[in-house]
Amino acid sequence: MKTYIYKIITLVILTAGISIAQNKTGTTIGQFLKIEPSARISALGNAGSSMSGEAAAVFFNPAGLGRMKGIDMQFTYNQWLADIMYNYAVVAVNLTEIGTIALQLTSLNSGEIDVTTVEQPRGTGERYTVTNFALGLSYGMMLTDRVSVGATLNYVNETIWHSSLSTFGLNFGVQYEVYENGPRFGASVSNFGPSAKYNGRDLYIDFDFDPKKYGDNDKLPSELRTEEYSLPTTFRAGVIFPFNFDDQYKLLVSADALHPNDNEESINLGAEMQFLKTFAIRGGYRNLFLPDLEGGLTLGAGIDLRVLSSYSLRFDYAWSDYGRLNNAHRVSVAVNL
């Protein structure tokens, strides 16, 4: 069993190294797949590769599903940059000895944008929208009482006016808990999959082979060729340290190292203080050591209400600083049965 576990961990690390060997800054599609959905983990500086216990942790590492109990449902509303609307919903169901499955839906909408051209820079009177959509199916399980693994298959679609692209992405990861309720290490790869390119009638044009020649066909039906781009593949590795002062107070410290294929390496840090098993305050810093970083500070709070003895209702809020791009606000509501 130990040999099997080591093989899984090695596969995660080696696959990340192969898929992210080249730096392609700013040349990936599916940028909305990098927006963190969990208000709780966002307030922790996005340091979530070792997190578990809530359905939205599957975004950072699907191996976290292995430790989840019962049924967890979560919805996140994100007031994203430039008034862009971002929503995320996930439902995870633990099947006892079999493991945990989860279904997640991510959507992003730019709102209406004026169509402009070289001839009409003030607008043509038409309007268009940019919509992004991802549907994911996840599975996580415990290999041993200390090691969990998980994977997510995502269908990804992006649409800009009348042109769109579709592809699939795979997330997979592993977590190792040193001892029960002790430090936990995690590693994951997100958005590993084939490249894709845009297609659609917005790329259709009438082409004149020789504009200086008269009498020929100056409206040849043609199509602009677009390049293929990869998904924003990211390798995460991190650790969390829980400190239990007594039954009523708990401190959690989390850290992640990130290696993306479309930017430089960086580090995320976060801490959470829990009071009376009900209230929590959080703070963190994302993308430490990233060149030309805009902002980075994250803050948040949460409340966990126990309703009867059968389920809980959680509310979480996160504020993230993006410098000159202003701030982002996330609100998550979750129910655990």
HSE at residue 314, side-chain half, CA atoms within 13 A, is 26
- Give the pLDDT confidence score for residue 268 in this predicted structure: 98
Amino acid identity of residue 35, one-letter, is I
Q: Which domain holds residue 210?
A: 196-229
In degrees rounded to 5, what are phi and psi of residue 31? -60, -25
Distance between CA atoms of 290 and 274, rounded to whole angstroms?
30
**Domain check: are 137 and 220 in the same one?**
no
**Domain check: are 313 and 215 in the same one?**
no
- Give the pLDDT confidence score for residue 27 in this predicted structure: 76
**Domain check: are 151 and 8 in the same one?**
yes
The domain that contains 296 carries what CATH number? 2.40.160.60
Of 204, 229, 254, the residue at which a domain comes to its end is: 229
- Give the pLDDT confidence score for residue 201 in this predicted structure: 85
Of 212, 229, 246, the residue at which a domain comes to its end is: 229
**Domain check: are 221 and 81 in the same one?**
no
For residue 83 the two structure tokens come to 């008034």
Distance between CA atoms of 65 and 125, rounded to whole angstroms?
48
Q: Which residues in the chain come in under a pLDDT of 50?
A: 1-23
Report CA-CA distances (Å) from 297 to 60, 214, 300.
Answer: 19, 62, 11
**Domain check: are 113 and 256 in the same one?**
yes
Distance between CA atoms of 55 and 34, rounded to whole angstroms?
17
- Give the pLDDT confidence score for residue 245 in this predicted structure: 85
pLDDT in tens, 68-92: 989 999 999 998 888 899 999 999 9
- Give the pLDDT confidence score for residue 21 in this predicted structure: 43
**Domain check: are 81 and 225 in the same one?**
no
- Give the pLDDT confidence score for residue 10 in this predicted structure: 38
Element (H or E) spanning 13, and its range? helix 2-19
Element (H or E) spanning 42, and its range? helix 39-43
**Which residues are within 8 A (CB) of 239 and not within 5 positions of it... i.e. 6 or more apart?**
50, 183, 184, 185, 186, 254, 255
**Domain check: are 124 and 24 in the same one?**
yes
**Domain check: are 184 and 279 in the same one?**
yes
**Domain check: are 104 and 155 in the same one?**
yes
DSSP 94-116: E-TTS-EEEEEEEEEE---EE--
Amino acid identity of residue 238, one-letter, is G
**Domain check: are 205 and 260 in the same one?**
no
Distance between CA atoms of 245 and 98, rounded to whole angstroms?
34
**Domain check: are 100 and 220 in the same one?**
no
**pTM recorded for the entire structure:** 0.86
Structure letter (DSSP) for residue 6: H
**Domain check: are 181 and 242 in the same one?**
yes
Distance between CA atoms of 107 and 226, rounded to whole angstroms?
24
Distance between CA atoms of 203 and 183, rounded to whole angstroms?
52
Question: Which among 317, 254, 313, 276 has a CA at the least distance from the CA of 54?
Answer: 313
What's the structural domain count of the chain?
2
